């Protein structure tokens, strides 16, 4: 059975979501639009949608092989993926292996130091509030997740982090930090959803420490599209090894 986009459901900052012939499946369309700083900075990055679709595809397939339950079903074309429809849990799960970004600012630390422990930050996914940093108790208060659900999400995230560190290392990239989202499928299972790409990960070249991720857009570093192409090419090579 081949699936096609039916009704438009949602337009986010980087993707659009459409219904399909099957009520339990949706099509995600990856755009070239880029935003940063809670959408105060806007632009487009040539080929970003195509690259993120391809990079996410490689990563979802890799994680599925490692036993992670995900929403991913199949890549339909250069910009679209068929995925299981989920009710997104309104929590952004951020993992930090190195100090960078908002944590460096908040704690007055220099970017680039390796953290002796894996740091898990959770943010409440609410654009109007600017996705504030919360803790487990806030998540329960907000009805975003139960303590048991959080425990499962942390365990899955830890496994995902270990697998991704390995994969990116094979591509000569350091996984500095990243954000993932989980959702509940039609049977109530908590599965990995959304995307994993240079929009949602900080990736530094292992030798030169060159940034190969969305920070090139956020910080006007130039060669943004080139960085996304580079990550895709390196992952393709790494997965052949
Ligand atoms: P944002 O809403 O943060 O601007 P995007 O532009 O990436 O994000 O839009 C994609 C939206 O689709 C996000 O809100 C994301 O949580 C949601 N989403 C991701 N995967 C699924 C899925 N399998 N089912 C339903 N919604 C999803
Ligand atoms: N991140 C993301 N979406 C968000 C916020 C963060 O994908 O809405 C990713 C970001 O790309 C980085 C990690 O999560 O890899 C940690 O981001 P941080 O909290 O440092 O925030 P930022 O510096 O992006 O504001």
pLDDT at position 1 is 79
Do the two domains 7-84 and 87-222 of this chain adopt the same fold?
no
- What is the CATH code of the structural domain delimited by 7-84? 3.30.200.20
pLDDT at position 241 is 77
pTM for this prediction: 0.98
| Residue among 11, 56, 17, 14 nearest 35 (CA) | 14
Q: What is the dihedral of CA 133, 201, 145, 37, to 10 degrees?
A: 40
Measure CA 240 to chain center.
Answer: 23
For the chain, the DSSP string reads ------SEEEE-SSEEEEE-SSTTEEEEEE-SEEEETTTTEEEE-TTHHHHHHHHHHHHHHHHHHTT--BSEEEE-SSSEEEEE--EE-SEEEEEEEE--HHHHHHHT--TTPEEEEEEEEEEE--GGGT--EE-HHHHHHTTS--HHHHHHHHHHHHHHHHHHHHHHHHTTEEEEEEEEEEEE-TT--EEEES--STTTEEEEETTT--B-STHHHHTT-S-HHHHHHHHHHHHHHHHH-
Write out the two tokens for 181.
């989202």
Measure CA 123 to chain center.
Answer: 14
Cβ-based burial of 36 (10 A; exposed 0-12, middle 13-18, buried ≥19): middle
Does the beta carbon of 88 lie inside 6 Å of ligand 1? yes
CB 116 within 8 A of CB 192: no
- Mutate-to-test residue for ligand 2 from 124, 125, 177, 219, highest number of ligand atoms within 8 A of CB: 177
pLDDT at position 92 is 98
Write out the two tokens for 205.
């070249």
- Nearest ligand 1 atom to the CA of 181 is 16
Write out the two tokens for 236.
């393709």
Does the beta carbon of 26 lie inside 6 Å of ligand 1? yes
Using a 6 Å CB cutoff, which residues line ligand 2?
A: 92, 94, 100-103, 131, 177-179, 200-202, 214
Write out the two tokens for 101.
């970004």
For ligand 2, atom 10: residue with the closest CA: 200
For the chain, 241 residues long, the average pLDDT of each consecutive 10-residue run is: 94 97 98 94 98 98 98 98 98 99 98 98 97 98 98 98 98 99 98 98 98 98 98 98 77
Topology (CATH level 3) of domain 87-222:
D-amino Acid Aminotransferase; Chain A, domain 1 (3.30.470)
Contacts of 73 (CB under 8 A, 6+ apart): 25, 81, 82, 83, 84
| Structural domain spans, the chain | 7-84, 87-222
């Amino acid at each position: 059975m081949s699936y096609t986009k039916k009704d438009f459901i949602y337009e986010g900052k980087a993707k659009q979501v459409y219904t399909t012939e099957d009520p339990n499946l949706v099509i995600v369309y990856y755009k070239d639009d880029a935003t940063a700083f809670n959408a105060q900075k806007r632009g487009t990055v040539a080929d970003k949608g195509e690259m993120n679709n391809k990079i996410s595809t490689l990563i979802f397939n890799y994680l599925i092989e490692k036993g992670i339950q995900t929403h991913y079903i199949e890549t339909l074309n250069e910009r679209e993926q068929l995925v299981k429809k989920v009710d997104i849990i309104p929590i952004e799960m951020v993992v930090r292996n190195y100090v960078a970004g908002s944590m460096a600012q908040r704690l007055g630390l220099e970017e680039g130091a390796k953290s002796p422990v894996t740091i898990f930050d959770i943010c409440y996914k609410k654009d109007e509030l600017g996705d504030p940093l919360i803790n487990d108790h806030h998540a329960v208060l907000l009805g975003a997740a139960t303590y048991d659900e959080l425990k499962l999400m942390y365990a899955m995230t830890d496994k995902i982090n270990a697998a991704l560190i390995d994969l990116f290392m094979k591509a000569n990239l350091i996984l500095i930090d990243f954000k993932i989202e989980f959702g509940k499928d039609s049977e109530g299972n908590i599965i990995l959803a959304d995307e994993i790409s240079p929009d949602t990960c900080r990736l530094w070249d292992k030798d030169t420490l060159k940034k190969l991720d969305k920070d090139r857009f956020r910080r006007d570093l130039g060669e943004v599209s080139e960085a996304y192409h580079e990550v895709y090419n390196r992952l393709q090579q790494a997965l052949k090894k």
